[in-house]
Chains A and B, each alone.
Chain A
Amino acid sequence: MPRVDAGSRLRGAAAVVGVGQAGMGEAVGWSAMELLATAVRAALDDAGLGLHEVDGLFAGTAIHAMPTLSVAEYLGIRPRFSDGSMIGGASFHAHALTATMALEAGLCDVAVIAYGSDQRSAGGFASVSEPQPYEVPYAPRYPVSAYALAASRHMFEFGTTREQLAEVAVAARAWARHNPEAFERGPLEVADVLASRMVSDPLTVRDCCLVTDGAAAVVLVRSERAADARRPPVYLLGGATEHWHRQIAAMPDLTTTAASVSGPRALRMAGLALADIDVVELYDAFTITPLLFLEDLGFCRKGEGGAFVADGAIAPGGRLPVNTNGGGLSCVHPGMYGLFMIVEAVRQLRGEAPGWQVPGAATALVHANGGTLSSQSTLVLGTGATL
């Protein structure tokens, strides 16, 4: 067993007591902020708390230059502590650790992490991100070309095949078929993925995440207060964020992500080993990402991710339950997916998954990615029995 390590004082210090979602899939006529606020309302209802009790606010979007200011104004709250750190899709995982710190330090008592996007209805991915001077002349499609470059390198170094990448999309769809909230629920086979439109070689449109609308929110409180929650609390046992680059050309090695550091660090904080994990959520913006994370987190050796996912190993009934809601590939992916993964993990640990429920799940590893394999953030969550 790994020893309990850095941050162990925060292990179990805070718990998720409310989760909410809104506008899953398509929400024509609803703005990103309206969806976000609806998800916050749902999460607070789930927690049995009022908006006036929220004094910690965490938010990040691709369309707001100052997200916590916009969200707090819209909700009409005056948070004592707020953090709008923006590191892409992993922002909300990072916020969860910061929220735990702020709660533990008494800087706030009720923390809300929120996200919302109307990118499907609004006509596609929008971002306030600055242009990259050393990339603009080459017009990579952002972000898919960066992930395609990583996939090309993985195939070159390890012999990973397009069929193996397709297995990730097929497994995600198999989970989604059980989930009434999932956006894409039709049948999908490896041959369908291979035959679909190529976007940026070797990634086809079915190797890429969905473009949906959607919003999510979670509510955290200190653990002593969580005991009074309406629903079973889910405790933050470990959390770690690591980032080594922003743009893909600056990534030291395209086949090894910073998840190789964030994962072990989060597990050490939780005092758990991979073998103790019941449910795994891995950010699947593209089929290559779960492969990289399975390797970097240690579920298999470097280069063996392709073989690991073959034959339905990460599909329902396989050897490891990965992306149990259908993931960003088949459930929901409104620009940034991180917070939806946390919601799914919490529901699995409460025993109330909307789709396939992993029986008796007590621990979850939820790993998010942001930018172009840039930010990596791992959370380890557990039920009260794991404290």
Chain B
Amino acid sequence: MPRDASALAGTGATPGPEATFRRYLEGGKLMLQRSRGSGAFVFYPRVACPGTGATDLEWVEAAGGGTVYATTTVRRRPDRGGPYNVALVDLDEGVRCMSRVEGIAPDRVRIGSRVRARIDRVDGAAVLVFVPDPAAEGDDAAG
């Protein structure tokens, strides 16, 4: 698991991209890296753009919109908490992440549905999840 960014803060050390991402997330912000030169977004956070090696990365807040790219329901037994969703979501910035869609039955999540990012707290840690986009009327996922 990643180091706690707050533990580094007092040392004066500059945290790496993973800890920086966590720190933003803990503060309620979904931040992505973007290359100043190419404009390409990067996820997960890295020290350089994958493939090109460009290090001109800046942090930009994500708009929060995304589209479900793939979805599955993990059939956990009811006595252990019941089924839950695991999805791959394409953020509008052009990067993909694993997450889950909440606020809807796990097996009603549909590929192509519009979703909005939300930051949840799970076991004391900030976790990026998604909920059906209320603006997407008539969308399967909103039903």
User: Which A residues fall within an 8 A CB radius of B?
Assistant: 131, 133-141, 145, 148-150, 152-153, 156, 197-202, 247-250, 254
B71 adjacent to A149 (CB under 8 Å):
yes
Number of B interface residues, CB 8 Å? 27
Q: Is the interface of B mostly helix, strand, loop or mixed?
A: strand
B72 adjacent to A148 (CB under 8 Å):
yes
**Nearest 9 interchain pairs by C-beta:** A148-B72, A149-B70, A249-B98, A156-B111, A137-B127, A153-B70, A201-B73, A140-B86, A200-B72
Name, among A134, A140, A153, A197, the residue most crowded by chain B CB atoms within 10 Å (CB to CB). A134
B73 adjacent to A136 (CB under 8 Å):
no
Contacts of A136 in B (CB 8 A): 1
List 16 contacting pairs A-B, 8 Å CB cutoff, sorted by A. A133-B44, A137-B122, A138-B86, A138-B98, A139-B74, A139-B84, A148-B72, A149-B87, A149-B88, A156-B112, A198-B73, A198-B75, A201-B107, A249-B97, A249-B98, A254-B69
Q: Is B12 an interface residue (CB 8 A)?
A: no
C-alpha spacing A153/B112, complex, angstroms: 10
B111 adjacent to A153 (CB under 8 Å):
yes
Q: Which of A135, A152, A199, A249 contacts B71 (CB 8 A)?
A: A152
Q: Which of A149, A150, A250, A254 contacts B86 (CB 8 A)?
A: A149
B72 adjacent to A133 (CB under 8 Å):
no
Q: Is B100 an interface residue (CB 8 A)?
A: yes
Expressed in whole angstroms, the minimum distance between the Cβ of B75 and any Cβ of chain A is 5
Q: Is B118 an interface residue (CB 8 A)?
A: no
B72 adjacent to A152 (CB under 8 Å):
yes
Contacts of B139 in A (CB 8 A): none
Apart from the given pairs A145-B86, A149-B71, A153-B69, 9 other A-B contacts in the complex at a CB distance below 8 Å:
A137-B125, A137-B128, A138-B99, A140-B74, A150-B70, A156-B70, A200-B75, A247-B98, A249-B98
B74 adjacent to A141 (CB under 8 Å):
yes
Q: Is B56 an interface residue (CB 8 A)?
A: no
Expressed in whole angstroms, the minimum distance between the Cβ of B52 and any Cβ of chain A is 15
Expressed in whole angstroms, the minimum distance between the Cβ of B61 and any Cβ of chain A is 18
Expressed in whole angstroms, the minimum distance between the Cβ of A327 and any Cβ of chain B is 22
Of all chain B residues, the one with the shortest Cβ separation from A150 is B70
Q: Is B53 an interface residue (CB 8 A)?
A: no
C-alpha spacing A222/B11, complex, angstroms: 58
Of all chain B residues, the one with the shortest Cβ separation from A148 is B72
Q: Is B10 an interface residue (CB 8 A)?
A: no
Name, among A135, A138, A148, the residue most crowded by chain B CB atoms within 10 Å (CB to CB). A138
Contacts of B72 in A (CB 8 A): 140, 145, 148-149, 152, 200-202
Considering the complex, which residues of chain B in the window 80-117 have a beta carbon less than 8 Å from any beta carbon of chain A?
84, 86-88, 96-100, 107, 111-112
A133 adjacent to B18 (CB under 8 Å):
yes
Contacts of A202 in B (CB 8 A): 72
Q: Which of A139, A156, A197, A249 contacts B75 (CB 8 A)?
A: A197
Expressed in whole angstroms, the minimum distance between the Cβ of B44 and any Cβ of chain A is 5
Q: Is B2 an interface residue (CB 8 A)?
A: yes
Name, among B2, B74, B97, B128, the residue most crowded by chain A CB atoms within 10 Å (CB to CB). B74
A145 adjacent to B74 (CB under 8 Å):
yes
Of all chain A residues, the one with the shortest Cβ separation from B81 is A139
C-alpha spacing A84/B2, complex, angstroms: 28
Question: Are A248 and B127 also in contact (CB < 8 A) when A138-B99, A139-B74 are?
Answer: no
